[in-house]
Amino acid sequence: MWNEEESSFTDLPTESDIDSAIASCPERVPCVPCGLKAQQEVIAQMRPLPGGGFSQFGQNYHTLDFVYVKPSPPDSRYKIAQIAKIEAMKTPALVTVVYFGRYDDICKKSPSPGVVSDEV
């Protein structure tokens, strides 16, 4: 199933997904949507990894990894970046990235070589 908001394909929950969602349900009344929402909130939390890096949405990230950075509206194109620095123990955690851009785009915007850092 295509998820417009996340720009990704989403699998429909399997029988075991539904069982674990019900097990995670914060309410005493078993409810699949509430259980799935509770699970999403847990995996959305940024957790520091032993030896550096962090984990979020079931994915591990380390310094020098390449990532897509979700744009903020109205820009709809994902940006390619490399993780330069991770401060996972800070609250909120801070990730510094170096954006990669098309040579022409960067040279038009800035007279100096374009290195921009931002939070994820």
If the CB atoms of residues 31 and 106 are measured against Zn ion, the closer one turns out to be 31
Q: Are 95 and 87 in contact (CB under 8 A)?
A: yes
- The answer to whether 22 contacts Zn ion (rule: CB under 5 A) is no
If the CB atoms of residues 34 and 80 are measured against Zn ion, the closer one turns out to be 34
Residue 16 phi/psi, 5-degree rounding, is -75, -30
63 three-state secondary structure: coil
- The answer to whether 18 contacts Zn ion (rule: CB under 5 A) is no
If the CB atoms of residues 24 and 56 are measured against Zn ion, the closer one turns out to be 24
Considering only residues 22, 31, 46, 67, which one is a binding residue for Zn ion as defined by CB under 5 A? Answer: 31
Q: Are 105 and 116 in contact (CB under 8 A)?
A: no
